[in-house]
Chain A
């Protein structure tokens, strides 16, 4: 029993990160019908921004309170990653807005490769893996045989709060309404006096910000390297598709489902190497029986 509770906790931790990244895939898809395959690498970039900012802050002779360094690192990662995402959108995707979708998808894959290889080639970063220094003291607690750390609880809680806030923004604010309006009718939105470019930028900023929250927290728990975005990005992408791409709550649900698959595969199958097999099988089966994902609405084609 304790063992399962322990694994559920681990699954929530991993799932939180997938959910945060999946949100970026799903929002960009919702508004541009573009799968931003560079998003996993944008997540990777966020971990490096967090790494450098935290190293810098901790290296100061004057010691700052841990809460301050943590929040400052988080905000810097969000801002820096947003900037990168908006630049990518403006330089790579915007010129292709009227081009066939396939051009955009290939461009997105190219942008991903560019980010990975730039990080490897860039001297201060290079191919080695790193760990974000501990920004606060993470203690281990044990309740009824279940062990958990401060960090683990923070990951689950902060991710949850970020998702609730994002959900509120999309559902309750004018910005969210404009985002949804663009996904239905790009032509009419500017005729309401709304700048489509601004709303698209805000979408990329929101997606990058939640990915950066995930990235900072992830980088404190696991090691980071320039290729980390590939596998995590794919898993987050599957999360978004499983939940129903274009659907915010679907992406969150999908993220947690994939988190449970990752953690519980080795529990029921001989090794953890089966986890990709299980995840992609789920994707295949789902695409056959419910191509729009769990929470996605079937798209009715008018003829």
Chain B
């Protein structure tokens, strides 16, 4: 069964076609990568899925529900979470609070309970705190729980962003260049981490990545986009041999 089906997704930015007729079906549990040169429209696809932009045309079906037109927060609560190319943590909040705020939607205490510190409030707060600490433990960040997140080293900030995305309890995780700016050792660690959370949280993952080590190492299927259009699709091995992909990445061979 398909978890998400994107059909004929097209998006114009005032005359510039950022995404053209993009199609994608994601099966439950799959890990699919989208690759392509800078400016190919990859992040735009993420922004369209999460409702940051409303597509010019096309449908996005998630578990039988149409996402196009829904506000972002409802798309997130229906089970999609994402990370960002340029880290977007709440820099002034502690590591723990970054995780806690992502669980906002699942909090059921009322403002009145919060004001008067009623038992329901404490119980919920405690549950959230425990779940947050568990997540931090998985990501090896529990010692930093009370650190203000802007003071974390870069690699840990990237990990925290993934942890925060998981705190919204998604079925589908969108990772936007998670390995950007990481050194080779950190990249290896990230690959292990993605594989581990994928199993543990039964995630379907859609990944945008430039580092081929990551893409070829973990993706089951790859889609290659260039100038908003899908130019190739297949397994990592097929993609590596595809002449159109080589062209897009290495430039056209000079015509004789």
Chain A interface residues toward B at CB < 8 A: 165, 168-169, 172-175, 177-178, 180-181, 184-185, 187-188, 190-197, 202
Contact = CB atoms under 8 A, between A and B. Distances in A.
B77 A193 contact: yes
A185 B76 CA distance: 17
Given A174-B100, A185-B90, A195-B71, 10 more contacts: A172-B114, A173-B111, A177-B101, A187-B88, A188-B90, A190-B71, A190-B72, A191-B81, A193-B76, A202-B111
B90 A194 contact: no
B111 A191 contact: no
Categorize the interface residue count of chain B. 20 to 34
B20 to A, nearest CB: 25
Interface of B: 50-52, 71-74, 76-77, 81-82, 84, 88, 90-93, 97, 100-102, 104-107, 111, 114-115, 164, 168
A199 to B, nearest CB: 9
B101 A175 contact: no
B90 A184 contact: yes
Contact of B115 (A169, A194, A195): A169
Given A174-B114, A192-B102, A184 B72 contact: no
Nearest to A202: B111
Contacts of B72: 190-191
B111 A177 contact: no
Contact of A192 (B74, B84, B104, B115): B104
Nearest to B82: A191
Given A181-B93, A185-B88, A188-B88, A194 B111 contact: no
A214 to B, nearest CB: 18
Given A184-B91, A187-B88, A193 B168 contact: yes
A239 B114 CA distance: 28
Given A184-B91, A185-B88, A192 B114 contact: no
A205 B74 CA distance: 23
A255 B77 CA distance: 40
A102 to B, nearest CB: 24
A177 B115 contact: no
22 contacts: A169-B114, A169-B115, A173-B114, A175-B111, A178-B101, A180-B92, A181-B101, A184-B92, A185-B90, A187-B88, A188-B90, A190-B72, A190-B76, A191-B52, A191-B73, A191-B82, A192-B101, A192-B105, A193-B73, A193-B76, A194-B73, A194-B101
